[in-house]
Each structure stands twice: as C-alpha cells, then as structure tokens.
C-alpha cells in the first residue's frame, strides 16, 4: 500500500481484470510484498510496511526509484466460483510445498537434500523469478557474478543490475560495489559452476527458468504464473450522512428565507409555508402534529399560508428551558403526502449535539463495506472483560476469535459523532418523552454492545446488528453474511448504519417522498436474525477451510472450471448449509496481524485539487514497471477529460440563467436583466390595488467559462510530459480550439451598451 503512495488502502475500491469486476482492498502480511528498487540502486523484497515511509512520489525524500513487482494479491477461490471464472494456475507457493514435504526445510541445504533424495520440487523461497527474464539474460548475469569466497558475497556490476531487478533478487551496496543477497539467490549460486560449462544454444530455452532447471539436478517449479491488472476505483469513506445544506429539523421554512434556511428567519419574515393540517378528535381542535391528547390525529388537507411558526418555536424553546434563538436550519418544503413537520424540539437538540438529520428523520453513518470473519480484540479497541461480556470466549486480547454474524466493527473516525448521537437520543428521551436516558455513554467503550441497523440504499429492509469495536479504517467490518443480508457483495459499496433506538423513535414513513423511489433507502422492515439460506447467494460461495489441499493446487494447473472446486477439496458455505456449521467454525488460509494496517489516508482524499491528484498519480506511474504513462494519458484524456470539456462546452451554449437570491432559473434571460419572480403581493394604501412584489435578485450564468476549460491546461501538460496517441492528441487540439474561439476576447473596444458610438 505504501509502495503505491497510499492510493490503495484498506477500504479502497479496486477494479481488477479477474475474476470479478471490483473488490475492496484489505491488508495481508503473510503473502509476498512488493519488490522495490531504491534511488541508491539497492533493491529488496519488502517484508513489513515500516520499511517504506508514508509519502508521495513528488516528495523530495521519496526513496523509491522503481517498483518492479507489487507482490502477491490474495483472491479466495470463492470469488472465482461466484463469477464462474476458470481457476488460474497456482504458482508454486510455500503453502503448496508444505503439502508435498513431511517436514518443511529450514535452510537451503535441507531443501536441496529433500529435492535430490526424495525427487521433490525445490522450496519456492530459494527460487528467484527466473521466468521473468530471458535465458540469455540469466546466463549473462551468472557469467558476470564475482564470488568472494572469503566473505561469502556475490558481487554484481552496475551494468547487470537490471537483470537482477527483473528476477527480483535483493541487491545491496557495500562501498561502491553492489552485491546480491537473500534466500532466493540460493538456486542461482548453486548452478553457478555448471553455467561455466554450458556450451549449448541458449536460445533453445523459452525463459530463464527453463535454463536454470536445465543446469540443476532437481525440479524447479514456477513461483510466478499470472499477473492481474488493477486500478483504483472509488476512494474509501466513513462519514456522517448530511443533506445539502446541513439540516437540523424536517420543518419547512418556505422559499423566502434564502439559502441559509434558518427557521427563525422564516418567523421574522412571516414566510408562507405549506404543511399538513390535521384534526384532533379528542379536543376537537386543528393541529399540525401527528399526535394530540395521546391519540393519533386525522389528516384534513395541506395549505400554503402564513402559519403561526413563532408559537411552535416558542413551545420548543420552553420544553428545553432555553431562551436563545439558535440558528436551527429547516427544509424549504416537505416532500411527503401529508406534509407532517418534525417536532422542532428535535432540531434544537440536534443543533446542540452538532448533528444533522436525513430526509427520513434518522441520523446515519455511511461507510464502505469490508468483510471480516475473525479478529483480535486489541485490533478493534475491545477490552478482554468487554469481549467476554459480549459472548466471546477469549483469554487474551491477542486471541484470534471468530466474528459473530451480526456483529460489526465501525470506523474510529466516527467515534465522536457516534457518542454525540447517543447524547442526542438520551436528551430526546428525557426532555421530549419524559423517559429515562438509555445509552449513558461517556466513552467509546460504552458504545460497544449497543444495537444498530445496517441498510443498503437500494433496499427498504434494515438488518439488526451490534457494534463491538472501532477500527482505524475508513469503512466498517462486518461478517459476509451481514453484508449479503443487505444484498451487498463488498466490491466497494457504501452502506449506512444507524442506532436502533434512533430508527425506532425518529424514523417515520410520513416523512418519505411520494415520488418513485421514495420508499427506498428507508428502514421500513427490520430483519432481527440472519438465515444463511435466505441471504444473497454470493455468500454461499465463500470458502471456509483452513487450507487448500494438495489436490486443489495440482488441479488448478489445468485451468479448470471454478464450479468443480468443491470436488477438489475446497469447502464452501454451501457445503455446510442447513447444519450447525453454517453459523460458525469458519476458517481462513492466511493470517493478517492487524486489520488496521496500511496508510491512514488516501492522497486522493487529502490532495487539494484534481490537477494535483492527477499529476501525483502519473508520477507514481513512472515508478511502476507495469504502467505505461503514454497509454494511461491517452485513456484519461479520451475517456474523461475531453468528454468533460466537450460536454461542458455544449452545456454552456444551452444553459439557463439563475437568480442569486430566490434560485429561480430561466431558459431565456429576462430583458430587464433582473429576476421577475413574484415573491409577494401587497395592497397599495392609496389606490387599494394589489401590487406584485418581484424578487430583487440578480441573474447569473449557471455554467461559467472556468467550468468549460478547467482541464485544458491539465491535458496540455499531460501530453507534453507523458505523450499520448495521435488520435487523442489531434482530438484535444480540436476541442481546445473550439473552447478558445468560444471565449475569445476581441481586440476591438468592448461594447457596453447598445447605443455606444463606434
């Protein structure tokens, strides 16, 4: 992750070639890391993230010269099964070698003896990536190695460093001399003397691995078989969901108060608002509330008029014992069928606790979906006592325990907002409903164990869950069953969670829109328990074994169909469906030491401008051996930047104009040059005639010149610095000339009025 300057971190969506379309990035320290060439010429395989500092390729102290190999990508077999993608031949990895030897070798001598006496392949950690170089290159490297038997060092000349980089051999620097080191040079040095005796045609070998195996007297399997192209998709995220602008209460303020939408401004201006009028059958009086005298009221009609908002405002202040007219913000108008406004008391309490409201009355937290089946209590800030209280059988905070299917781990970035939400609900219970506080949370530890609801935006059914910890990631961890119950598959999706009590108290169908889709993204239904047979079927393809058997590795070499995996030793959820093992007892094949690993921030979110984000990514591209910046430039310009400029140029010619005060838009600008919207009517005191009052706002364009040519200089710089294909280059210059001609300023005198003299 650090080798990529943090553009891929935990929670980032990654688009890849196979087996599916996209996935979400998670850390794993037990597979090969990247192989990196540093600016001093040394190179090595990175074993721990702390070996690379957090930084950007444009930084002066950025140590990386080139990334020759990004390391391994761990993709479970279940992904291939779900996407019906043929199984890719597995490289010869330590997990495979472990299956063919009785005792795993601890040194090259042990591995050599095993290979010769038992006719077994050489252990993969002693084999370099010979298949990445030509046979002639490997022979050239061997011919030019200088062995110092006294020091036990193999020196390499600067002219042949690139070959060492290709096959991922560690390169060190002693004084002004380079040398190679590490376990994976063992086979290379073992055939050093035989290379001197080789006299055959070197071109008869298709790659360096075949040549090395020819020189050796033991089998060497390829430890690198496939490469997968990938790129960053959507950045990770974890935040409080807020309406634009931020709203504290679902209470209408009308269209006369401006963009601030302050409720007190509506009181001062005596704005007309549209709310639903209701009738209480108990006291036989009109009201705007859904409940009066302890009974539900009946809807009568909606009316757009001057309502007594001040009375409602004063009642809310009185209930909270406050006399300050806080800048509580409401909505311009309700979107529901009966137009029931929210109790203003909730708006005051939300403002006090720095919260906002969503359109259905709830407070929501949006986070990227990340799957998790096991965790350590210390990773998520869960104490030993609290873990045991929540039902986890742990003896130490370092114990690895299986996650219960409806437990979730939220982002620590939201800890403060989560606490503020509990304070809001507690104050609401006390001051509005006359009940005792429920949460009483004073620290983040107090949050653990409380119930929440998870909801995907394209559904209307929430899933009950329980918060058990906080992780330093921009996303939330949940069991695959939990995400599948929401009809999600963890490929970069963002879902929300909300406190259960918040949904029960504050959510109402009466706030939902009557338009198409108004019932979506609303917790109309709550699923209290998850049945694996009723969730999205993708979760049933999850492989749950602790390891892959030998027959699977051998079977994978045939590039077979993934659906046959179960017949070759791969255990999936579907195999245990309907039994007690469908809920627990899942395994994992590779250990992750810390789910919080990786850089904390993605530069895509922290860099100020799109220009800077783009140039940093291209600077990163120069360090990646797999990236062609010329091709990347062509794709970016053709598929994104040119289309943006061309679309905005078209929009500029067809744009509307807008009033800066009331927001009214016009297809054609009024001849007066000012807004003509009627905002009020008054009776003239002398003539007694009704006079229309128009909005005093100014008219402005909705599409500016800057919006059209904002990427012009960026495209020009990319073409000059990195190049692009001929078609894209000509297309850019054509579109750029159109934009220049559209906004060209003539040298003649600027005509200010129609009757200016020439």
Question: What does the pLDDT look like over 208-218, one tens digit per residue?
Answer: 999 999 999 99
| Structure-block tokens of residue 534 | 């009723």
Which pLDDT belongs to residue 623?
A: 95
Which pLDDT belongs to residue 747?
A: 57
Which pLDDT belongs to residue 755?
A: 46
Question: What does the pLDDT look like over 437-453, one tens digit per residue?
Answer: 999 999 999 999 999 99
Summary mean pLDDT of the chain: 91
Which pLDDT belongs to residue 150?
A: 76
Which pLDDT belongs to residue 748?
A: 53
Which pLDDT belongs to residue 324?
A: 86
The residues near 478 (Cβ < 8 Å, ≥ 6 apart) are 369, 370, 371, 372, 407, 408, 409, 454, 465
Q: How many residues does the chain have?
A: 758
Question: What does the pLDDT look like over 302-329, one tens digit per residue?
Answer: 888 888 889 889 989 988 988 888 899 9
Burial of 737 (0-12, 13-18, 19+ CB in 10 A): exposed
Q: Cα–Cα distance between 623 and 70 in angstroms, integer?
A: 11
Average pLDDT over residues 566-573: 91
Average pLDDT over residues 24-30: 93
Question: What does the pLDDT look like over 377-415, one tens digit per residue?
Answer: 999 999 999 999 999 999 999 999 999 999 999 999 999
The residues near 282 (Cβ < 8 Å, ≥ 6 apart) are 292, 293, 294, 295
Q: Cα–Cα distance between 694 and 670 in angstroms, integer?
A: 13
Percent of the chain past pLDDT 90, that is, above it, reads: 73
Which pLDDT belongs to residue 549?
A: 94
Q: Is the pLDDT of residue 349 over 60?
A: yes
Question: What does the pLDDT look like over 675-691, one tens digit per residue?
Answer: 888 877 788 787 778 88
Which pLDDT belongs to residue 687?
A: 79
The closest of 131, 132, 144 to 178, measured between CA atoms, is: 144
Contact assessment for residue 611 and residue 49, using Cβ atoms and an 8 Å cutoff:
no
Burial of 668 (0-12, 13-18, 19+ CB in 10 A): exposed
Which pLDDT belongs to residue 342?
A: 92
Helices assigned H by DSSP within 332-467: 344-352, 384-389, 415-431
Question: What does the pLDDT look like over 511-548, one tens digit per residue?
Answer: 998 888 888 999 999 999 999 999 988 899 999 999 99
Q: Cα–Cα distance between 367 and 238 in angstroms, integer?
A: 4
Q: Dihedrals φ, ψ of 319, to 5°?
A: -65, -25
The closest of 154, 113, 159, 160 to 141, measured between CA atoms, is: 160
Contact assessment for residue 361 and residue 342, using Cβ atoms and an 8 Å cutoff:
yes
Place 286 in a pLDDT band, splitting at 50, 70 and 90. confident
Helices (H) and strands (E) in the chain, counts: 24, 30
Q: Is the pLDDT of residue 76 over 90?
A: yes
Place 758 in a pLDDT band, splitting at 50, 70 and 90. very low
In Å, how far are 198, 243, 392, 509 from 370, measured between CA atoms? 53, 25, 21, 30
Place 757 in a pLDDT band, splitting at 50, 70 and 90. very low
Q: Cα–Cα distance between 260 and 247 in angstroms, integer?
A: 10
Average pLDDT over residues 70-87: 93
Q: Which regions of the chain carry the CATH code 2.40.40?
A: 365-541
How many angstroms from the chain centroid is the CA of residue 508? Answer: 30
Place 334 in a pLDDT band, splitting at 50, 70 and 90. confident
Average pLDDT over residues 264-283: 87
Query: Selecting from 2.40.40, 1.10.10, 3.40.50, 3.40.630, what CATH number does the domain 365-541 have?
Result: 2.40.40
Average pLDDT over residues 42-61: 93
| Structure-block tokens of residue 85 | 């993608």
Q: Is the pLDDT of residue 371 over 70?
A: yes
The closest of 742, 730, 712 to 649, measured between CA atoms, is: 742
Which pTM was predicted? 0.89
Q: Is the pLDDT of residue 749 over 60?
A: no
Question: What does the pLDDT look like over 580-608, one tens digit per residue?
Answer: 899 999 999 999 999 999 999 999 999 98
Place 293 in a pLDDT band, splitting at 50, 70 and 90. confident
């Amino acid at each position: 992750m650090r080798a990529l300057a943090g553009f891929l971190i935990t929670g980032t969506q990654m688009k890849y070639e196979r087996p599916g379309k996209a996935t979400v990035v998670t850390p794993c320290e037990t597979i090969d890391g990247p192989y990196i060439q540093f600016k001093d010429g040394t190179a090595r395989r990175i074993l721990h993230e702390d070996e690379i500092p957090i930084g950007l390729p444009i930084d002066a102290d950025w140590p990386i010269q080139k990334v020759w190999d990004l390391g391994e990508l761990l993709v479970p077999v279940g992904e291939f099964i779900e996407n019906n993608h043929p199984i890719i031949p597995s490289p010869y990895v330590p997990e495979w070698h472990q299956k063919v030897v009785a005792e795993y070798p601890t040194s090259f001598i042990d591995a050599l003896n095993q290979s010769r006496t038992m006719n077994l392949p050489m252990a993969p950690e002693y084999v370099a990536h010979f298949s990445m170089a030509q046979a002639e290159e490997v022979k050239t490297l061997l011919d030019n190695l200088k062995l110092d038997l006294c020091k036990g060092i193999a020196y390499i000349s600067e002219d042949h460093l690139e070959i060492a980089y290709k096959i991922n051999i560690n390169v060190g620097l002693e004084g002004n001399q380079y040398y190679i080191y590490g376990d994976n040079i063992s086979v290379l040095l073992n055939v050093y003397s035989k290379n001197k005796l080789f006299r055959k045609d070197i071109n008869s070998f298709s790659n360096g691995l075949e040549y090395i195996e020819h020189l050796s007297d033991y089998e060497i399997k390829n430890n690198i078989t496939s490469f997968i192209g990938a790129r960053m998709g959507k950045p990770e995220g974890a935040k409080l969901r807020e309406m634009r602008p931020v709203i504290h209460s679902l209470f209408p303020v009308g269209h006369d108060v401006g963009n601030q939408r302050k409720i007190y401004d509506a009181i001062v201006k005596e704005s007309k608002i549209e709310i639903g009028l209701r009738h209480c059958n108990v006291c036989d009086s009109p009201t705007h509330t859904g409940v009066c005298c302890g009974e539900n009221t009946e809807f009568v009609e909606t009316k757009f008029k001057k309502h007594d908002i001040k009375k409602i405002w004063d009642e809310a202040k009185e209930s909270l014992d406050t006399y300050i007219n806080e800048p509580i913000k409401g909505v311009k108008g309700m979107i529901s069928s009966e137009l029931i406004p929210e109790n203003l008391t909730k708006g005051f309490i939300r403002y006090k606790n720095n919260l906002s409201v969503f359109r259905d009355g709830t407070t929501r937290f949006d986070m990227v979906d990340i799957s998790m089946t096991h965790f350590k209590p210390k990773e998520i800030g869960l104490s030993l006592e609290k873990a045991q209280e929540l039902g986890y059988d742990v003896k130490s905070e370092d114990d690895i325990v299986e996650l219960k299917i409806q437990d979730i781990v939220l982002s620590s970035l939201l800890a403060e907002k989560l606490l503020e939400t509990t304070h809001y609900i507690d104050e609401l219970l006390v001051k509005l409903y006359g009940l005792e506080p429920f949460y009483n949370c004073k620290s983040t530890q107090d949050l653990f164990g409380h119930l929440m609801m998870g909801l995907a935006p394209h559904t209307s059914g929430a899933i009950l869950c329980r918060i058990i910890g906080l992780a330093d990631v921009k996303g939330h961890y949940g069991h695959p069953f939990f995400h599948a119950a929401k009809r999600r598959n963890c490929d970069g999706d963002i879902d929300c969670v909300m406190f259960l009590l918040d949904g029960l108290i504050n959510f109402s169908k009466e706030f939902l829109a009557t338009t198409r889709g108004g019932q979506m993204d609303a917790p109309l239904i709550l699923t209290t328990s998850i049945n694996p047979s009723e969730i999205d079927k993708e979760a049933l393809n999850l492989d749950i074994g602790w390891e892959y058997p030998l027959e699977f590795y051998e079977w994978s070499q045939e590039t077979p169909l993934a659906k046959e995996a179960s017949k070759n030793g791969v255990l999936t959820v579907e195999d245990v469906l309907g039994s007690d093992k469908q809920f627990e007892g899942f395994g994992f094949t590779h250990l992750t030491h810390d789910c919080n690993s990786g850089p904390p921030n993605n530069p895509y979110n922290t860099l100020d401008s799109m220009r800077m984000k783009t140039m940093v990514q291209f600077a990163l591209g120069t360090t990646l051996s797999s990236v062609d910046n010329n091709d990347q430039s062509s794709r970016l310009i053709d598929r994104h930047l040119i289309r943006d400029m061309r679309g905005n140029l078209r929009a500029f010619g067809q744009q509307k104009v807008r009033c800066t005060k009331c927001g009214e838009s016009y297809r054609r600008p009024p001849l007066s040059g000012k807004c003509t919207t009627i905002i009020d009517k008054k009776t003239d005191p002398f003539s007694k005639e009704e006079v229309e009052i128009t909005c005093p706002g100014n008219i402005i364009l909705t599409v500016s010149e800057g919006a059209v040519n904002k990427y012009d200089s960026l495209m020009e710089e990319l073409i000059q610095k990195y190049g692009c294909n001929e078609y894209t280059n000509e297309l850019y210059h054509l579109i750029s000339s159109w934009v220049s001609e559209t906004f060209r300023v003539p040298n003649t005198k600027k005509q200010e009025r129609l009757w200016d003299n020439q």
